[in-house]
Structure 1
């Protein structure tokens, strides 16, 4: 296989993996009434609760408009609450509710299950090599996008 054909095959396979990963994430998280993109919001707030909309959007690499829709939905489901910043009423801060904190273990289990399913048959060394290569690809693509921000409507990984 020549270099161009190999690159096309790798690109096609990455797309296929992304689609299948998205489908499986949707299946697993749907049982928790959590939807694509929401675990990244929760993860960022588990690390630092009370972020502003703009801080949170930047942290998870999505647009503020996309985040606003997600936060609204997550407020309706009882995972988050927004509070006006006492120092600046124009700024809203996003906080986890008790339910938002409590769901962490369930979401962690989903990610572990997904990893176990996706990497069945891989040695630890193969997993580490693939992780390193994917980080390089992600870095290359982030540099090609405007400020590394993903396009409207796409999600980020749990680690971002």
Structure 2
């Protein structure tokens, strides 16, 4: 494949992901849901396992602990999460969803499902399967690079 077309594919994919994230944010804003870009993955991680340490969350989300701290501070202000010291080790801060956070997750899930329907409008089932196969292949290639570093 020609180098420029590879760059064009990566650029297009990057633009699609940025547009998807922005559109999700706009749709949530329109509903009055105070969930900002970057926060849905954190909410989903907590819905899978509430009370994780900040260190665990940063590792799972592949972000720096300082970045996570900024996110959590903002999310505490909007009432989505609360931080509490670990009962056995006061140096460890654990993060918990609030009731408002659980409601926000539900709204995010429903909005994402709706956005997915619109994103793949007029795609055949076969086209969606092919796209999924290509994306998983790309994901595996990138994981191999990551693991070798």
TM-score band, normalised by shorter chain: 0.7 to 0.9
After TM superposition, the structure 1 stretch with the greater mean CA deviation from structure 2, 36-45 or 99-108, is: 99-108
CA offset at residue 53 of structure 1?
A: 0.2
Give the match's secondary structure for 2:37. Answer: coil
Give the match's secondary structure for 2:69. Answer: helix
Aligned-CA RMSD value: 2.1
- 1:79-158 aligned within 5 A: 79-145=80-146
CA offset at residue 77 of structure 1?
A: 0.5
2:2 is aligned with 1:3: yes
The CA distance in 1 between the partners of 2:86 and 2:123, in whole Å, is: 48
Q: Across the two proteins, how many residue pairs are aligned to each other?
A: 147
The CA distance in 1 between the partners of 2:75 and 2:5, in whole Å, is: 42
- State the TM-score, normalized to the length of structure 2: 0.87
Which structure has more RCO (C-alpha within 8 Å, separation ≥ 6)? 1
Q: 1:146 to 1:25 in 2, by over 3 A?
A: farther
- State the TM-score, normalized to the length of structure 1: 0.82
Q: 1:25 to 1:147 in 2, by over 3 A?
A: farther
Number of the residue aligned with 1:153: none
